[in-house]
Chain A
Amino acid sequence: MQNHPSYPVLSQLLAKYPATGGALFQVYNDLTLAQRWTEVEVLDLPACKRAAIKGQRPTPDTDRGPSICVVVPCSLSESISTSWLRAAFTSLDPLPSEIYVAITSEDTSTVYYKISQGVVKPPV
């Protein structure tokens, strides 16, 4: 991992949160290399005992404009809770309307789910 180009950006937070290092590494690479997010930075989320990733999601043609999104990585094998999810929201400034949870599995698949606070209708 140390020789990987992403390592320098992540090294500090990988050292701080070794338990979630694998998920962080996988999601960071997926976002930057496969999903082609831009202006990607890592954030420290002590309330969730891990790092989160903030960046700009590429815009689909019909969308309004580029959106800044926050992604919280987590592994399939973890046990989380709704209070953990809400803690992610309250740790972020400014308070986002939604966050993305990136769930990693051991075959390096990553799936992303959008979590919003409150009762938020699905798009039509």
Chain B
Amino acid sequence: MWLGYVTYERKHIDPLSFNSQVNLARIAGMTPPILLRVSNFKAYVWDVDDINILRSHHHICGILTGTLPHLSSQNIFLGLPLQLMPEEAVLLLENGIAVLVDDPSAHHIPSPSALKLWKEARLDDARQQIALTEEKGSIEASNPDRAMSENAKRKRKEREERRARAKADTAPSVTAEDSPSPHPTSENPSQPAIGEPPDSAIVMPSKSYTVNIPASSSNLEWYAPHSHASLTIAREAGIWLYPSTLQERARCGVFRDLWEKGYYMGGGIKFGGEYLVYPGDPLRYHSHFVASVIEAPDAALRPMEIVAHGRLGTGTKKAHLLCEWNDETQVVSYLSVEWAGFG
């Protein structure tokens, strides 16, 4: 299935030239290469469709690193962008699946007219979202009793009576603004609790709306990405340097070999290794292996490492995988380590 696979049977890994990549894509009838947005030597994916393709077609998972500022715990609910391991970006680039884009330089300075258009479009979109919310709200308000309990009905009556009394005390009445601007969820104390419909007869001074603002730059008129289609090109442009040491080359080699065997890889820090190696999508399977990268056949290994890796692996229903990289032959050799169960 992988046209790129045939190329990598060779011992020496050459980054494919841009033309051969394009031809590969055309021959295979695949979609154009995915843009990896590089910022400070890290590769990010900002498009959800691309994240989907990377995971389902290329078994590259990455990790979501986007957080919501108003959530106190910033490691549970994560969103865009997806951050790739450098080994993942290198593999995608070498296989012609992706190209690198220098994100900072892709953002040009907008002209005043372009900026004006963008602002208007943004406001328009926000207004549309608010209008839809209000329409939905009025539909619900016109039929408020459909889901109300007796208790809720009683509480609403009491609130309305209370407000009518308060209104009678104060002189001017409060009117709603013409075009309410969206606030991030600010609570109006006189509003009914969540689950109860709004009081139909009462006029609200300000409403709170949730408006979704797209974060992607792809549709900006002044976003002009320039693709770098190989490691050499990207290195010359100074936007990507990985791999540059033996250790980094070893990681790329091991990652690629495991990937070509069909495994999904994730970060191994929770289990004391470089990667967790899954037989299928991590959402469906537990990993069978924790992998360490050994940068050379004669790299010093301490017996205590075998003890630590082996016991932790076995204790977590996994085996430890020592992945030895040979920089001369460009071959990966594997040794699986488990606690013997006796002794």
Query: A residues bordering B, Cβ < 8 Å?
Result: 30, 35, 57, 74-76, 78-86, 100-103, 110-122
Contact = CB atoms under 8 A, between A and B. Distances in A.
A112 B289 contact: no
Contacts of B297: 81-83, 86
Interface stretch (B19-27, B208-216, B223-231, B306-314): B306-314
Chain B at the A interface: SS class: mixed
Interface stretch (B124-132, B136-144, B328-336): B328-336
Pick the 6 closest A-B CB pairs, nearest first: A112-B340, A83-B297, A112-B343, A120-B336, A122-B319, A82-B324
B319 A120 contact: yes
Nearest to A87: B297
A100 B319 contact: no
Contact of B342 (A78, A79, A112, A122): A112
Given A74-B303, A81-B298, A35 B336 contact: no
B314 A122 contact: yes
A117 B342 contact: no
Contacts of B302: 76, 79-80
B259 interface: no
Contacts of A75: 303
B301 A79 contact: yes
A84 B300 CA distance: 10
A117 B334 CA distance: 6
Interface residues of B, number: 34
Given A82-B322, A113-B337, A122 B303 contact: no
8 contacts: A80-B303, A81-B300, A83-B324, A85-B322, A111-B307, A112-B339, A113-B337, A122-B318
Contact of A121 (B261, B288, B300, B339): B288
A76 B304 CA distance: 6
Given A81-B299, A112-B340, A103 B335 contact: no
Nearest to A103: B303
Given A82-B335, A85-B335, A117-B334, A100 B301 contact: no
Given A76-B302, A122-B338, 6 more contacts: A80-B301, A85-B322, A86-B335, A113-B338, A114-B340, A115-B337
B336 A118 contact: yes
